[in-house]
Amino acid sequence: MLLSGSGKGQPGAVPGWVGYALLPVLNLVAAFVLSGLVILVIGENPVDVLSLLLSEALGYPEAIGYTLYYTTDYIFTGLAVAIAFHCGLFNIGGEGQAYLGGLGAGLVALALTGWPWPVVALLAVLASALFGAAWAFIPAWLQAKRGSHIVITTIMFNFIAASIMTWLLVDVLIRPGSQSPETREFDPGVWLPSMDRALGWFGITIPASPLNLSFLWALACCLLFHIFLRRTRWGYELRTVGRNERAAVYAGISPARNIVIAMLISGALAGFVGVNEILGVQHRVILNFTGGVGFVGIAVALMGRNHPVGIILAALLFGVLAQGGGQLSFEYPTINRELVMVIQGLVILFAGAMENLFKPQVETLFRRRGTAAADTGRG
């Protein structure tokens, strides 16, 4: 989202980096200041608490592994929300699409016992994308052809996905003789290698953590995301529909087709969460493995300004909050998971609903500086 008046060579113009970098930083600072006040109210030192949070998320190799593991999920769901945003759509169904993507990856792993893990990983990636895209197709078609609002239908499909998964894991795929709603464990030979194992192949030793090779796939998806949107005709058409649907029609671009394409890609990206969680960490299909990452992806996309680099940084921030925040209660009994969710909520509030809180003041400041510099140059 560019700031109004941004341009090059115009006196008083606001540089584009202000909207992409400065405003998100200001919003983040405001969120942490308010979070510090909340921590102060409950009787703890906010500086000590936030320092511990950062230390437990980034202070030692194992913590970094856990942080990047959380970051991986947030990158996938952030990209999923962002591609829909670029087409003018608000996909809130990332949670359900990730759920079904995990089912697809799990079915591949269950069916291909004894196969080499690279083959299983490739097929699981394709299956997770297919299942996630398929779950996004019906809301996309309803929006494109029937005018049903994408927000309503994707929310409904989140609940439907949860119900389907519960039925499958309780009555169909449950491990024989088990009371727990989960499948049998996959054959260890088809597990997606953890990062410590993969780096061990090259003689590099790091502590064990849930971080696995899907992190590299998440980074690759960021690159592919940028190439598709900025370097292909399909990406241009998709962005045109998102910017001005009437202009797109006038140019011969089909809004309905691009709505479906955007949602299919969005569902596929969300489905990749299943590769990280099911094939890389859980090694079986379980209930509620998504843990709300689809909703966090909305904040990640908003804070990252729907740009892959911004999404990586925003996902890392939420990864830090997830890992560091989960360790705070061990040191501070008064701080529980709910308080960490409050901090996340404040970040979401300032990054989303109040993202333009500082925009008028920042615009005014840069316009005045630009005008003053131009007047000095004329003099």
Read off the pTM: 0.90
Q: How confident is the model at residue 11 (pLDDT cuts 50, 70, 90)?
A: low
Distance between CA atoms of 164 and 157, rounded to whole angstroms?
Answer: 10
Distance between CA atoms of 339 and 37, rounded to whole angstroms?
Answer: 12
Phi, psi of 355, rounded to the nearest 5 degrees: -65, -25
- pLDDT at residue 199, as a whole number: 96
Q: What angle do CA 305, 311, 312 make, to 5 degrees?
A: 150
Q: How confident is the model at residue 89 (pLDDT cuts 50, 70, 90)?
A: very high
Burial of 171 (0-12, 13-18, 19+ CB in 10 A): exposed
Average pLDDT, integer, range 14-33: 80
Which helix (DSSP H) or strand (DSSP E) does residue 222 occupy? helix 214-231
- The tally of CA atoms less than 13 A away on the side-chain side of residue 89 is 39
Q: How confident is the model at residue 18 (pLDDT cuts 50, 70, 90)?
A: confident
Average pLDDT, integer, range 85-99: 96
Q: How confident is the model at residue 6 (pLDDT cuts 50, 70, 90)?
A: very low
- pLDDT at residue 372, as a whole number: 65
**Neighbouring-strand partners of residue 182:** 286
Give the model confidence (pLDDT) of 163-189 as tens digits.
Answer: 999 999 999 999 988 889 999 999 999
List Cβ<8 Å contacts ≥24 apart for 338-341: 339/38, 339/39, 339/42
Which of the two residues, 231 and 8, has the higher pLDDT score?
231
- pLDDT at residue 209, as a whole number: 95
- pLDDT at residue 370, as a whole number: 67
Do 290 and 273 contact (CB within 8 A), yes or no? yes
Q: What is the DSSP letter of 196?
A: H
Sign of CA dihedral 83, 304, 97, 283: positive
Give the model confidence (pLDDT) of 356-373 as tens digits.
Answer: 777 788 778 877 776 766
Distance between CA atoms of 304 and 58, rounded to whole angstroms?
Answer: 21
Closest to 256 measured CA to CA, from 146, 372, 337: 146
Average pLDDT, integer, range 126-144: 97
Q: What angle do CA 284, 289, 295 make, to 5 degrees?
A: 155
Do 334 and 44 contact (CB within 8 A), yes or no? yes
Phi, psi of 6, rounded to the nearest 5 degrees: -70, 135
Sign of CA dihedral 353, 354, 360, 363: negative
Q: Which of 1-15, 59-73, 296-310 has the lowest mean pLDDT?
A: 1-15
- pLDDT at residue 365, as a whole number: 81
Please provide the DSSP assignment of 229-244 as one string: HHHSHHHHHHHHHHH-
What is the residue type of 230? R
Q: What is the DSSP letter of 282?
A: I
Burial of 145 (0-12, 13-18, 19+ CB in 10 A): exposed
> What residues contact residue 4 under an 8 Å CB cut-off, 6+ apart?
14, 363
Distance between CA atoms of 165 and 148, rounded to whole angstroms?
Answer: 25
- pLDDT at residue 12, as a whole number: 56
Give the model confidence (pLDDT) of 101-120 as tens digits.
Answer: 999 999 999 999 999 999 99
171: left (phi over 0), alpha (psi -120 to 50) or beta: alpha
Distance between CA atoms of 87 and 101, rounded to whole angstroms?
Answer: 22
Closest to 227 measured CA to CA, from 93, 119, 89, 83: 83
Q: Tokens 């241009």 map to which residue?
A: 236
Q: Tokens 């008028």 map to which residue?
A: 360
pLDDT at 329 over 90: no
Do 250 and 134 contact (CB within 8 A), yes or no? no
Q: Tokens 């090779």 map to which residue?
A: 213
- pLDDT at residue 378, as a whole number: 62
Give the model confidence (pLDDT) of 222-265 as tens digits.
Answer: 999 999 999 999 999 999 999 999 999 999 999 999 999 999 99
DSSP E strands in 330-371: the ranges are none
- pLDDT at residue 377, as a whole number: 62
